[in-house]
Amino acid sequence: MIAVPAQLVADTFAIFRDCGGGRRECVTYWLGPADTPEKVDEVIHPKHTSMGGGYQIDDQWLTTFWFALARRRRSVRVQVHTHPREAFHSPTDDAWALIDTPGFLSLVIPQYGLGPVGLDSAYLAERAGREWREVAVSTHLDILSGVY
């Protein structure tokens, strides 16, 4: 179970609405201390291209980010991105995720993030074995009240 400040969820939706504008997909990463897997306390908005039905991370940005994570001893715990309509894990999401180690979580937000702020309509996938499988938000993310 990963503890997620509610304000971080709200900030993530704000990024999606500002960047995607209800017309394009957007992506963020939730980070926490590298030695504390059960905590996230930072949202990162990567440099990316996007369109109505997809996004791609900027290659140079990703390398810079990767070394910055190492210097700061921070790890990405959850990949969060939007879909235009319903939330699910697409074949593209399965094949080209940022992290592919067991237990990594990928959260998909429907309607470009224009719906109510929260995870009631979200789809959460976990990397398990050779596949991504749907898991319940309530058993994997503990949304904490307050700021971070």
Partner 1 sequence: MAQDIQVQPQTHTFTIEVTYNGVTEPLTVQPHETVQAALEQAMNLFNIQNQRHIMAFYRESDGSEVTPENISLADAHITPGTVLALRPSKVKGGNG
Contact pick of 13, 16, 30, 55 for partner 1 (by CB under 8 A): 55
Contact pick of 72, 133, 134, 142 for partner 1 (by CB under 8 A): 72
Q: State yes or no: residue 56 binds partner 1 (CB under 8 A).
A: yes
Using an 8 Å Cβ cutoff, are 147 and 43 in contact? no
Q: State yes or no: residue 83 binds partner 1 (CB under 8 A).
A: yes
Distance CA 46, CA 15 (A): 11
Q: Which amino acid is at 148?
A: Y
Give the list of residues 6+ apart from residue 57 with CB closer than 8 angstroms, or none: 27, 46, 47, 48, 98
Contact pick of 36, 38, 64, 133 for partner 1 (by CB under 8 A): 64
Q: State yes or no: residue 135 binds partner 1 (CB under 8 A).
A: no
Distance CA 5, CA 56 (A): 27
Residues lying near partner 1 in the complex (CB under 8 A) = 25, 27, 34, 50-57, 59-60, 62-64, 66-67, 69-70, 72-76, 79, 81, 83-85, 90, 92-93, 95-102, 127, 129-130
